Amino acid sequence: MFHSFYQTPFGTAILRASERGITEIKFDVKTENVGSDHQNEHITQAISELGDYFQGSLKEFQVALDLAAGSTFYQKVWNALLKIPYGKTTSYKQLSIDLGDVKAIRAVGTANGRNPIAIIVPCHRVIGSDGSLTGYAYGLDMKQKLLHLENPATMGIQSTLF
């Protein structure tokens, strides 16, 4: 396994990768003690792409992902998240419908909340059916700023991300 710390506008993140691709992007890593960076090409590419994303110049990530750590259902949800276009949102209900079972809304919400690859697998693009910002592992402020970065015209906040 490979890992690297990366300074973002939201604080320090840790990126982890296998030989196949990125396995995790996690924030709030102050207490983690994993030693010095041990990067591979996937981490190098992810850091570059994240930098471009935060500057507003990248709309679609190309870095390889390794989602093997999740159950088959979780992987299905995470792959559906990857299809939500930059600057757009969907609801938990609509995501459940898209996955073929409107009754799975809670399970979809749980899978969304357990997304191990923040930002690149865009769970921040899932909102409540009424348009409200609901649940985000790193807080609603970060979710709102990410959505504003991607679509400032519709997110209606005054402040900028940077």
Which of the residues are catalytic? 123
Phi–psi pair at 145, nearest 5 degrees: -65, -40
Report the Cα 31 to chain-centroid distance in Å. 21
- How far lies 4's CA from each of 16, 64, 124, in Å? 7, 16, 23
- How far lies 140's CA from each of 21, 63, 124, 134, 136, in Å? 28, 26, 9, 7, 6
Reported as type and span, the H/E element at residue 15 is strand 11-17
